Structures are given as C-alpha cells and as structure tokens.
C-alpha cells in the first residue's frame, strides 16, 4: 500500500511540474506524457492481468500519452516509439529491479521511445521539404 501511495504522489508531483512548464518544447511534452501514460497503463494492466497485462498496459499507455501530446504530423511515429519503448523498458526494468524497476523502466523507455520517434518524424519531414523540393516540382508551362 505504501508503494502505491508513493507512486501516485510521484505521478502527481511530476504532472504538476510538467504542467507548469508551458513553454517546454514539443519533444519534452511528448516524452513526459508518454512516461506518465506508460506508468499508469503498467499499474492498471498489472492489476488486471499480471505481468502480461502490465506489458500490454505499458504499451497502450505509452502510445496513448505520446499520441495525445504530439503534433498531428508526428503522432504515429511518436505513438509507435512510446509503445515499443514502454514495453521494452518494463521488461528490462522488471528483470533488473522487480516491480519498482518495471515501473521506472516503463517510464524511461516510453519517454525515450516517444521522443525519438517524434524527432525522427520531424527530421524526415524537414529533409523531404528542405532539399529543393519546390524547385524540382514547380509548375512548368507548356510551350
């Protein structure tokens, strides 16, 4: 019971810290919401279905948190990264540190995966439109 109270208090304090940082970058917001979503999903999934439920919950929570906070163009990449990072982080953390390690690993994995997916999507878009795209595809008149 004490660990649940500790985790809920930590989540509440983290959410207020990130909510007050309104000028934070988009990648920071995506990472923070994905981490919080993954921890909540892990806790709910563990209560509902044990170890397998926790893995599924961390994936859904990480992907949902990343999708909510990301830009429309980067939403899919951030959600995939958050979901895969949440599952991988939970599995690695659980093997190293038990249940608490699973929660911490889930948060760190989802945050890192969502930030990476978001950044890759932004970089791909800037490379696509930045390399003389308009010069190669401009309208040419018939003679």
pLDDT of residue 23 exceeding 50, the answer is no
Domain ranges of the chain: 27-126
| Helix pair angle (26-69, 2-20), 10° resolution | 110
Cα angle, residue 65 at apex, residues 1 and 104 outer, rounded to 5°: 45
pTM over 0.75: no
User: What are the pLDDT digits (tens) for 33-52?
Assistant: 999 999 999 999 999 988 89
User: What are the pLDDT digits (tens) for 92-113?
Assistant: 999 998 888 999 999 999 999 9
User: What are the pLDDT digits (tens) for 43-81?
Assistant: 999 999 888 999 999 999 999 999 999 888 889 999 999
Compute how many other C-beta atoms are within 10 angstroms of the C-beta atom of residue 80.
18
> What distance in Å separates the CA atoms of residue 76 and residue 25, rounded to the nearest whole number?
18
Across 123-130, average pLDDT? 73
pLDDT of residue 133: 59
């Amino acid at each position: 019971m004490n660990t649940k109270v500790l985790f809920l208090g930590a989540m509440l304090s983290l959410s207020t810290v990130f909510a007050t940082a309104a000028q934070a970058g988009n990648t920071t917001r995506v990472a923070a919401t994905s981490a919080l979503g993954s921890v909540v999903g892990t806790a709910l999934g563990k209560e509902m279905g044990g170890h397998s439920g926790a893995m599924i919950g961390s994936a859904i929570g990480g992907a949902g948190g990343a999708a909510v906070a990301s830009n429309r163009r980067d939403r899919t990449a951030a959600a995939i990264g958050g979901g895969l990072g949440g599952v991988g982080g939970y599995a690695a953390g659980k093997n190293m540190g038990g249940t608490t390690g699973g929660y911490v690993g889930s948060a760190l994995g989802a945050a890192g995966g969502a930030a990476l997916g978001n950044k890759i999507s932004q970089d791909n878009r800037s490379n696509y439109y930045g390399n003389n795209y308009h010069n190669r595809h401009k309208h040419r008149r018939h003679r």
